[in-house]
Structure 1
């Protein structure tokens, strides 16, 4: 049986819900690419619900294909939400690196510095 994959935009350069933004050009994806686990709600103290494949940067966006662990009941339930259109977004967890208060990097609605490097 072929595995089901679902493409998500994990990150872009826009202002996030916390009021800051992270430049895609400053992302170090090496740690993520070495262990691309999919966590539910960034819950890193619980088991993953799947993995990310085909991680890629397209312009100012980071995309990846979600592969759910269909043998895991909770993961299968989340996959069902995706299939039925109830869950349409995902986000990448990140550790901040360097930030900048440079006004040229600020966007409308941004209330905190811009992360210019992050993992």
Structure 2
């Protein structure tokens, strides 16, 4: 038996400049729909043949055309990641792209089919149908990554903005992510609570600038 659900997750989408925008399309674990989408059960065959990006799961009618496409759709640990490219020749798609880069939109939601769901809510197999940009994701924890500023600082320091090194050669994603992880490991862990106080935030920013200057 197959069931179809919609659920939302967030981005790594505090993107600036140009090029594809990276998103976390799905996370393993039980969410508001009661399902636990384990990455070992995902089937990407159908989606990779037609990697459409929609808006708010609008599928029907001549006006409900894709606004973009997904690239580099892959499983990364307990996450499904994708890079979204929008059709900048389309007025609405260009607006969505601008609002994501401006941090007015931050979330995506996936449409999928789930098969043979066990009592714990884990499907034996689930099939990705589409990815939609949405204003409000189902997952209440679907908020933009709060430390993207550090990643952009590292990218500027390494001269790899846009995915290319200072010498003009391509920089592979693994190298970039290792560098980002190393930078974040050097920063102090924020204290518990909903947000940093002003003093801790200023100290974190100062340390980040110092690290960037030393690279």
Q: Normalising by the residue count of structure 2, what TM-score does the alignment of the two structures yield?
A: 0.47
1:118 to 102, 121, 126: 126
- Identify unmatched segments of 5+ residues in structure 2: 1-17, 128-215
Match of 1:69 in 2: 87
| SS state at 2:97 partner | helix
Match of 2:29 in 1: 14
User: 1-side partners of 2:82 and 2:122: how far apart?
Assistant: 23
Cα deviation, 1:66-106, whole Å, max 9, x if unaligned, reads 000001111111111101011112122101112011xxxx4
Aligned length: 108
User: 2-side partners of 1:50 and 1:43: how far apart?
Assistant: 13
Match of 1:79 in 2: 97
Shift of 1:15: 2.3
| SS state at 2:114 partner | coil
User: 2-side partners of 1:98 and 1:26: how far apart?
Assistant: 11
CA contact (8 A) 1:22 1:116 kept: no
Q: What do you get for the CA RMSD once the two structures are aligned?
A: 1.6
| SS state at 2:111 partner | coil
Shift of 1:17: 2.8
**Are 2:39 and 1:24 equivalent residues in the alignment?**
yes
CA contact (8 A) 1:9 1:91 kept: no
Structure 1 runs of 4+ with >3 Å offset: none
User: 1-side partners of 2:112 and 2:39: how far apart?
Assistant: 11
| SS state at 1:87 partner | coil
**Larger radius of gyration, structure 1 or 2?**
2
